[in-house]
Structure 1
Amino acid sequence: LKILLIGSGGREHAIAWKINQSPKLEKLFIAPGNAGTESIGTNVEIADTDIEALKNFALVREIDLTIVGPEAPLALGIVDVFVKSGLPIFGPTASASKLESSKSFAKDVMEKWDIPTASHKVFQDSEDANSYLESLNSFPTVLKADGLAAGKGVYICKDQSEAISALEDVMVTKVFGDAGTTLVIEEFLVGWELSVFAFTDGESISDL
């Protein structure tokens, strides 16, 4: 099999390392890859968000399977584009990826289907968010940039001053760009944080 792996982080390095152990592998390309993946497969100088260039590369190289690591190309609809072009690809569609790329959307889904989640409020206006924070009398509280922020868009604020400073970062200074156009303010929960991973084809599910 000729495999195209999308991404440039440690996650992709680990995936590339495992793929390279398969006896079915003929050729492994990583776009854009990193110094670690360079010794495992062939790095390709295409940004992981350049969906059109990635699609064209996969078509020309007759890639048998594309695997997507990062959230950004998934949110941009790389799976939808590849499927439309008849290219096999592993990853969620843009609509499914919204569960990861929009925290407010994920909250809406959890509320709709009665999935337990921290109580929250969503704001598009910084002044409204500021007024809400000034009315809070229970801390810590959690502020989250709604969009993708490379894992750095969450603030756990121990008092009102920290919360207002975080609000300024996200919605006014825009340290996360458009990811901070919408802000989620939610209840701080105490306990263990666990991750559960599963594969699904939309009809059946298998946990890992």
Structure 2
Amino acid sequence: MTRFVLASASPARLGVLRAAGVEPIVRVSGVDEDALTASLGNLPSPEEVVVTLARAKAEAVLSEFDDAVVVGCDSMLSIADALQGKPHTVEVARKRWSTMAGRSGDLLTGHAVVRVKSGAVVAVAAACSSTTVYFAEPSASDLDAYLASGEPLEVAGAFTLDGLGGWFVDRIEGDPSSVIGIGLPLVRRLLNEVGVSMSDVWSASAGQ
């Protein structure tokens, strides 16, 4: 049995995994996403940014485990030639929605899977999933109410698919679980790359 570690504080990611039969060990990485992004400089692509952040989150908690598979994720919205992470404030979220409303953007989620055995890293697999999100144009009163809820302030792109923000997403093209924060199809493929099957993960969750 292989312990599955989620290096994230996201309740949405935890919810996706639990609904899919995985009860992960949760460890919050503590990675400063904004500072790390700023330190990266001019990387070749937005996809590399989110994958780098995801790997940093996974690596930040590795020392706690002797035998486990550790998964880190990071999401950003690519729209209008810019990457958008968590807005943190109502003012920033409102400005982002002025750009997003009535347009589409690509929700990029970086995933990193690290296999640890006997306290040593034996395999790493990482990749990015991209899903196109088509946004509605919320009325001024609806946007005010949404921003006042606090939900969009600490999520990538200032919206959710599985919460209040779902009312303002007209459609998506791609993997919905990736938009929520952790793409199940991609994680399955990355687990296979590091030698871990879903049956291993399910068995470990059942045994906890």
User: TM-score, normalised on structure 1?
Assistant: 0.32
Q: Which has the larger radius of gyration?
A: 1
- Normalised TM-score (structure 2): 0.32
Structure in which a larger fraction of residues adopt strand: 2
Question: Relative contact order (alpha carbons < 8 A, sep ≥ 6): 1 or 2 greater?
Answer: 2
